[in-house]
Structure 1
Amino acid sequence: MNNEALNELLKKGDEHSFALIFETLYQPLVAYLMQYVGKAADAEDIAQNTFIKLWEKKDQLDLDTSVKSYIYSAAYNLFIDTYRKKKKQETYLDQLKNETLISLSEEPEDSLEHKLLLISKAVDSLPPRCREIFIMHKKQGYSHKEIAKQLHISTKTIEAQLRIAYTRLREELKNKPDLYLTLIFGKRLNSI
């Protein structure tokens, strides 16, 4: 379908016309976005959100360009916004992680031992299977796939058990957020 036909469909503004635009441009837009994002799911999310915005603004748009150019430009801008938000979150989490690690390294040895004992008690309070999976992941460094293979269960079960572990540990350590952050950010917790 050429650009003029797509523009005419957008001017009609009905659902059928919009569906034709979507069918024509969606897959090429996802392919275009794949060069910027690493995952197909992320490209699909951005493409879908772009079409949602197009639908919401269809009555106010007076395009000097083609629908295709507009949609690609809008998708790219949405990617940039998403990327900036993600970077901002990562920067904040890295800063929080560094502050936690610095505060832990500056503590007296007996205080650190006390905190590790509290972490160990919190982990021991988890249900047996949940504790086993948490330790395999955080202490032994196994990936979700490796744990699933060793325990003969699905990765979805691993994810669910880790979610339960983090929820319970957050509750157990709610008055000690620095300990909870240590559990989350510690790559491998050999002391537990």
Structure 2
Amino acid sequence: MFSSQEKFIAHLKKGDSTAYSYLVELYYKKLCDYASNLARDNFKSEDIVQNVIVRMWQNRKNLNHNVSIKNYLYKSVYNEFVDQYRKDIAVTTLEKKYVQGLDFVFEAQDEEETKRLITLIEREIEQLPQKCKETFLLNKKEGLTYIEIAEFNKVSVNTVEKQMGKALFILRKKMKEKAYYFFFMLFGLNKLKILDLQKK
């Protein structure tokens, strides 16, 4: 379709949708296979590749005319996998800490106390800054990935990450220990939905 790598990159830098479609058609499946070999998880591998392609498209104006697109993409997928792996390790360590605290949360399994904690958590989420709240609910309640949220809100993935980080920081700061253990179990471990729990 493109007579040379340089022309292909030039069209990408211009924001040519044809060049973008060609890029996805040519590399998406191959990159997913590569990422799957690294992550051993089809869903995670697709998430990795989507992150890489979206980020490259958002930063396309910075592409070097002499770069090998193939090498660039494969290296980016590897780096994204490493970044996610490091985050997973951190989350796993954090989860262990909170699993140890679950007995503290349910030391008195009182239905009224559970409802009180759910109401408290819902109130704190409702009081988040608007953008943070929207991002948090799209991710934790609707199950959208960061990429899907970025596309839905027409913002960068980095913006979504910052909004989620800010939301979690605010919630952690406002909640007392017991409420935060409960919050973490709902949204961190089992990914349950507050509204669904309230209906039961």
TM-score, with length taken from structure 1:
0.52
| 8 A Cα contact 2:9 2:63, kept in partner | no
Match of 2:70 in 1: 68
Match of 2:27 in 1: 25
SS of the counterpart of 1:35?
Answer: helix
1:50 Cα deviation from its structure 2 partner: 0.6
Q: 1:108-127 counterparts in 2 under 5 A?
A: 116=107, 118-119=108-109, 121-122=110-111
Unpaired segments ≥5 residues, structure 2: 116-175, 189-200
Write the deviation string for residues 45-96 of structure 1: whole angstroms up to 9, x where unpaired. 1111111111112111115441010001011111111111111111112123
User: Percent identity, aligned pairs only?
Assistant: 23
Match of 1:44 in 2: 46
TM-score, with length taken from structure 2:
0.50
Decide which structure has the larger Cα Rg and report it. Answer: 1
- Match of 1:122, as an amino acid? E
Unpaired segments ≥5 residues, structure 1: 105-114, 127-173, 186-192
SS of the counterpart of 2:38?
Answer: coil
CA RMSD of aligned residues (A): 3.7
Match of 1:56 in 2: 58
Matched pairs, number: 125
| 8 A Cα contact 2:28 2:49, kept in partner | yes
- Match of 2:8, as an amino acid? L
